[in-house]
Amino acid sequence: MAQWHMLTLVGTDRPGIVAEVTAALYQAGNNLGEASMIRLGGSFTIMLMIQGGSPGSLQTALAPIAASMNLNIHVDPVAGGLHQHQAPNVQVRVFGADRAGIVAQVTGALAATGFNILELTSDVAGSAGKPVYILHIEGLTTHPVETLQAAIDGLGLRNLRVDVSPIETLIG
């Protein structure tokens, strides 16, 4: 099996980034795996599993597009592969007036219980004058949700709504 690589890409958002990047990789003979691609604050970001080639050859294949679209590209070999999904069993939703330290405090309390974050998305909603921070975490725990809720409540965070709830995956 050919080696997997992780491509990290950031550039000012514009139409065509995904099409151009994936076309170049396809033409270079590479196969794609799991990916996360999202616009964050006006930048477009890509984390993409690529099979085949080497960090050098992938950089070379992408160099013309990186130059023409002004993209920052980084490639590393990775040990992982496909079919290693873990289904989350808990979600944590946090929102409230934005201030520094929310993520560090909430995730610190979770980490102390052994909670493993599988996915985290956050947004700043509201307006520049009245920003609202919204955090959504999905992960794996061996504890009941009450234990996690108590761990976060124990931080005494003011003006922050925190909801810990189970995710049960229905298999049918």
Partner 1 sequence: MARLNILTLPDERLQQESLPVEHFDDKLQVFIADLEETRQAGPAAVGIAAPQVGRLQRLVIVDVSSRPNTPNHGFLVLINPEITHWEGFELGREGCLSVPDYTGNVIRAERIQLHAQDPWGQSLRFEMQGYEARAVQHEVDHLDGLLFVDRVVSRRTDLFRRKVYRKGKPG
* Six-digit token string for 167: 């995710």
Quick one: which of 76, 119, 146, 153 contacts partner 1 (CB under 8 A)?
Answer: 119
What string marks each residue from 7 to 46 as x (binds partner 1 by CB under 8 A) or -?
A: -------------------------------x--------
DSSP 78-110: ES--SS------EEEEEEEE--TTHHHHHHHHH
> Quick one: which H or E segment has residue 112?
helix 102-112
What is the length of the chain? 172
Q: Total number of residues binding partner 1 (CB under 8 A)?
A: 18
Residues 104-139 as b/e (b if ≥16 CB within 10 A, e otherwise) read ebbbebbeeeebeeeeeeeeeeeeeeeeebbbebbb
Q: Could you tell me the smallest distance in angstroms from the CB atom of residue 98 to partner 1?
A: 16
Among 87, 97, 111, 132, binds partner 1 (CB under 8 A): 87
- Which window, 16-24, 48-56, 61-69, 161-169, contacts partner 1 (CB under 8 A)? 161-169
CB 39, min distance to partner 1, A: 10
Q: Which residues bind partner 1 (CB under 8 A)?
A: 38, 83, 85, 87-88, 91, 93, 119, 121, 134, 136, 138, 167-172
